[in-house]
Structure 1
Amino acid sequence: MNKLSKKSKLHVKVGDTVKVITGDCKGQTGEIIKTFASRSKVIVKNINMKTKHQRPTQEGEAGQIIRQEAAIHSSNVMLYDKDTQISSRYRKHKNSSGKNDRVLIKINNKK
């Protein structure tokens, strides 16, 4: 099977609240802004901030230092529940209307 034809899938979506479990930003929580399924990376708001020095493009213009989020590998983040402050894997559960909901495993086991 060709590497390009294989469809990638992530365990998190845009808008999910996640907790970083490894790396320099370990323990921080934030919301996912963008996902890159083909590279298995995500961008989390205000986490893994990197500085970029931008040169002036026109004469008379000043240079800038821009802070922007860098991508984190999706295996380094875990779904997080703000209410109970627990990060966990999830399980799909069908609700009464027949749609699949994502339920965190650690919260579900405590009931």
Structure 2
Amino acid sequence: MPRKYNAQKKLHVKKGDEVLVIAGNDKGKKGRVLFVYPKKERVLVEGINMRTHHEKPSQDNPQGGRLKREASVHVSNVMVLDPTTGEPTRIGRKRIDEEGGGRWVRYAKASGEIIDK
């Protein structure tokens, strides 16, 4: 469902996170998040959802041909891996106190380990 006023939803994954695919053709595979599309609520994961892309010959690729490329996956189909156990976990947010206020960090609900350093 589209969100009002072009508001972007806060996603539970960020670029560089190690994730597990929990639904779809690549279910059970692990990969690193390469790119996040917050407006579309999709993520690009390394080696997941490979699609054939036809490319014309160019200076960079004089041969052209059919190349395999990652396609985006909906954010609901991936779970972040716990940094301590390597198991998939849900993500929570909490504020940690620092001098001069605090900052919001993501943490693994399974172990309580902070994911954002």
TM-score (structure 1 length as normaliser): 0.79
Kindly name which structure, 1 or 2, has the bigger radius of gyration based on alpha carbons: 1
Question: Which segments of 5 or more consecutive residues in structure 2 lack a partner in the other structure?
Answer: 113-117
User: Mapping of 1:1-111 within 5 angstroms?
Assistant: 5-9=5-9, 10-56=11-57, 61-97=62-98, 98-108=102-112
Name segments (4+ residues, structure 1) moved above 3 Å.
Answer: 55-58
- CA–CA separation in structure 2 for the residues paired with 1:93 and 1:35: 22
- CA–CA separation in structure 2 for the residues paired with 1:4 and 1:90: 25
Question: Which segments of 5 or more consecutive residues in structure 1 lack a partner in the other structure?
Answer: none
Q: CA deviation at 1:3?
A: 5.1
Q: Name the count of aligned residue pairs.
A: 105
- CA–CA separation in structure 2 for the residues paired with 1:49 and 1:88: 25
CA deviations 1:9-42 (Å, max 9, x no partner) are 2221111111110001111111111111111111
What is the CA RMSD across the aligned residues, in angstroms? 2.2
Q: What percent of counterpart residues are identical?
A: 34
| Amino acid in structure 2 at the alignment position of 1:106 | A
- CA–CA separation in structure 1 for the residues paired with 2:83 and 2:63: 41
TM-score (structure 2 length as normaliser): 0.76
